[in-house]
Amino acid sequence: MDTGARPAPREYGEGLWRQYGEEDLPVPLAAALSAFAEHGYHGTSVRDIAARAGLSVPGLYHHYPSKQSLLQGLLELTMSDLLGRSRAALEQAGSSPVERFDAVVESLLRFHMYRRAQAFVGSTEIRSLEPVFRVEYIATRDEQQRMVDAIVQAGVDSGDFRTPHPVDAGRAVTTMCVGVSTWYRPSGRLGPDELVSRYLLIARQMVGYFSTSS
């Protein structure tokens, strides 16, 4: 069995972007995620990752030649999943700015609820990436932000959103969604659907959308 093989690209049929099971990561990356989330990149040894993966150090290197390659592989799959779900949410949303806005915000919220460890490592370990991959990784994060920015601007252009600062509002919405990963717990007082409902209302207020039926 090739424990370092990447999962096949995911397809998100109608509504499937909302559904989350267990993290589907190659064994070495799952072990790296656990270690990085617990000890940080620089506080984690390759030997620790190998032990968590049930591999020898040479066995781990057979799949990933360095600790840096493990971090890069983990963050690449994290952003691929996040972007894939966001794109599917938009493709399946209605055509109005508010419908598209709600879809991408809900996608961000659910990802940061259900993939807390990946989101945490992705946010805190950018500093640990080698320069070339750091540029690539930031570019994918920027792509996610541009999705939000474009929808907010479309809402302003159509008159649905009344924020005078669409770029700042878009970034504030994204920051709010990302921050959920730092405190959300499945055993907490808010279930996923209730949290999404509350935060969609807050996000709408941030971009200046106020529906009389809300």
80-107: buried (b, 16+ CB within 10 Å) or exposed (e) per residue?
ebbbbbbbbbbeebeeebbebbbbbbbb
Give the per-residue pLDDT at 4. 46
pLDDT at 211 over 90: no
| The dihedral sign for the CA sequence 169, 119, 63, 85 | negative
CA distance from start to end of the chain: 52
pLDDT in tens, 53-78: 999 999 999 999 999 999 999 999 99
Report, in angstroms and rounded to the nearest whole number, the Rg of the chain calculated over CA atoms.
19
Helix (H) or strand (E) holding 162: none
| The dihedral sign for the CA sequence 113, 119, 82, 197 | positive
**Cβ neighbours of 179 (radius 10 Å):** 13
What is the pTM assigned to this prediction? 0.89
pLDDT in tens, 122-177: 999 999 999 999 999 999 999 999 999 999 999 999 999 999 999 999 999 999 99
* Chain position carrying tokens 């932000």: 145
